[in-house]
Amino acid sequence: MAEETIFSKIIRREIPADIVYQDELVTAFRDIAPQAPTHILIIPNVLIPTVNHVTVEDELALGRMITVAAKIAEQEGIAEDGYRLIVNCNRHGGQEVFHIHMHLLGGRSLGPMLSHKGI
């Protein structure tokens, strides 16, 4: 069984967060250290530590993360100009909280995904 994270407490509303969407499968809330004018985290309500831990049973929640991202992008007014969805996996991928989560970023031009140096 995976260790509970701060995200588990946000889902249960035990600690404050600016929740913009919640249903039986996913929760979405504003990042406390935004990297763009719109920076929202979308998480499954069940604890899945990393992408490596995803199973067939998780497909509905992960699909919901994508449809919720599109809905929030529309509500935030960034859908037409565009936005970025990011899921990091493990230490080298930049994952800091080990509860799978998707970053929804937008509101300005985000530039290239990666630099070409070192590729």
Q: What DSSP letter does each residue of 85-110 carry, written as one string?
A: EE---TGGGT--SSS--EEEEESS--
Q: Which residue among 92, 99, 101, 116 is the active-site one?
A: 101
22: enclosing H helix or E strand: strand 19-22
Q: What is the pLDDT of residue 1?
A: 54
- 13: phi > 0 → left, psi -120 to 50 → alpha, else beta; which? left
- 111: phi > 0 → left, psi -120 to 50 → alpha, else beta; which? left
Question: Would you state the structure tokens that stand for residue 13, as one six-digit string?
Answer: 């509303």
Q: What is the pLDDT of residue 118?
A: 53
Angle among Cα 72, 78, 81 to the nearest 5 degrees reads 145
Active site residue 101: yes
Burial class for 115, CB neighbours closer than 10 Å (0-12, 13-18, 19+)? exposed
CATH architecture of the domain with residue range 6-106: 2-Layer Sandwich (3.30)
Q: 61, 45 in Cβ contact below 8 A?
A: yes
Q: What is the pLDDT along the chain (119 residues), one digit of tens a residue?
A: 568 899 999 999 999 999 999 999 999 999 999 999 999 999 999 999 999 999 999 999 999 999 999 999 999 999 999 999 999 999 999 999 999 999 999 999 998 876 656 54
Strand partners, 85: 104
pTM for the predicted model, two decimal places: 0.92
